[in-house]
């Protein structure tokens, strides 16, 4: 199974300041189709998760451009250029390369 | 839109069936997935099914107990859960996709307790 490891576990951030979350996979996420199936999701308290980024860096429809994804192989990063109040919650990375599909443990973003 | 239903309080060993009614997209053209989240915990993939239902994959902890299925004529996804255990307690989400999860249902809580 591919293990997804996120850091940090918690990230206190200042409104208007940048934030970043790292995700590392235990093996390469490059699929035989040539794509790297690493996605990022955001979950606000009491709500279902929402897809932010897929295939490392493609933003899902309606996602603000302050969110960006980068990385390759086994190391990936989600960046928020300027944190807004609505960005609080838990962020998860997920690999879609192979079954069983696996998630990172989550990073909680809160405002200082 | 995805609307999950079928959850509730269930005794250990129980057999509820979760349903997911979909609308607004070409259901038969998408892999579909169930993801669960235990109270206060992270996300766990449970099962996925291919567009025509011919391929099904399960997390090891539910193999032999849960069955994912779909009815493309009714744009609906199902999860038959058998031999439930306390550790199956979670909110179960119906989700579109396999390699990334584009649309999520609101979730249905399955609480396993005697």
Instruction: Give which of A77, A38, A42, A41 is closest to A55, Cα–Cα.
Output: A38
- Interatomic CA distance for residues A38 and A52, integer angstroms: 11
Do B97 and B31 touch, CB atoms closer than 8 A? yes
Q: Residue B100 in contact with residue A37, Cβ under 8 Å?
A: yes
Q: Give the span between the Cα atoms of A12 and A14, in whole angstroms.
A: 7
Q: Distance from CA of residue A27 to its chain's centroid?
A: 17
- The total number of residues shown for chain A amounts to 112
What percent of chain B lies above the pLDDT cut of 70?
A: 100
A101 contacts B48? CB cut-off 8 A: yes
pLDDT profile of chain A (112 residues), mean per 10: 97 96 97 95 97 98 97 97 97 97 98 93
Tens digit of pLDDT for each residue in B30-80? 999 999 999 999 999 999 999 999 999 999 999 999 999 999 999 999 999
- Closest-CA distance of chain A to residue B102, Å: 6
CB contact (8 A) between residue A99 and residue B101 = no
Query: In degrees to the nearest 10, what's the CA dihedral of B88, B89, B90, B94?
Result: 50
Contacts of B93 in chain A (CB under 8 A): 48-49
Average pLDDT score over chain B: 97
Contact A83, A18 (CB under 8 A): yes
Contact with chain B for residue A63, Cβ under 8 A: no
pLDDT at residue A106, as a whole number:
98
Mutation for A interface: B35, B43, B62, B106, most A CBs within 10 A:
B43
């Amino acid at each position: 199974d591919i293990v997804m490891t996120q850091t940090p576990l918690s990230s206190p951030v200042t409104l208007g300041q940048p934030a970043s979350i790292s995700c590392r996979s235990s093996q390469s996420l490059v699929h035989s189709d040539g794509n790297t199936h690493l996605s990022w999701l955001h979950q606000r308290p009491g709500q279902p998760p929402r897809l932010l980024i897929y295939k490392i860096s493609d933003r899902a429809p309606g996602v603000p451009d302050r969110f960006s994804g980068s990385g390759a192989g086994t190391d990936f990063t989600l960046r928020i250029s300027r944190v807004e109040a609505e960005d609080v919650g838990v962020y998860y990375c997920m690999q879609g390369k192979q079954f069983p599909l696996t998630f990172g443990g989550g990073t909680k973003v809160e405002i200082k | 839109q995805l609307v999950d239903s079928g959850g509730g309080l269930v005794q250990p060993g129980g057999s509820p069936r979760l349903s997911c009614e979909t609308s607004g997209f070409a259901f038969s053209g998408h892999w579909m997935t169930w993801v669960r989240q235990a109270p206060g915990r992270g996300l766990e993939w449970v099962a996925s099914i291919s567009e025509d239902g011919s391929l099904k994959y399960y997390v090891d902890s539910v193999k032999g107990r849960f069955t994912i299925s779909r009815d493309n004529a009714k744009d609906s996804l199902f999860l038959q859960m058998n031999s439930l255990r306390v550790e199956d307690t979670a909110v179960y989400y119906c989700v579109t996709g396999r390699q990334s999860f584009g649309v999520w249902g609101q979730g249905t809580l399955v609480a396993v307790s005697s």
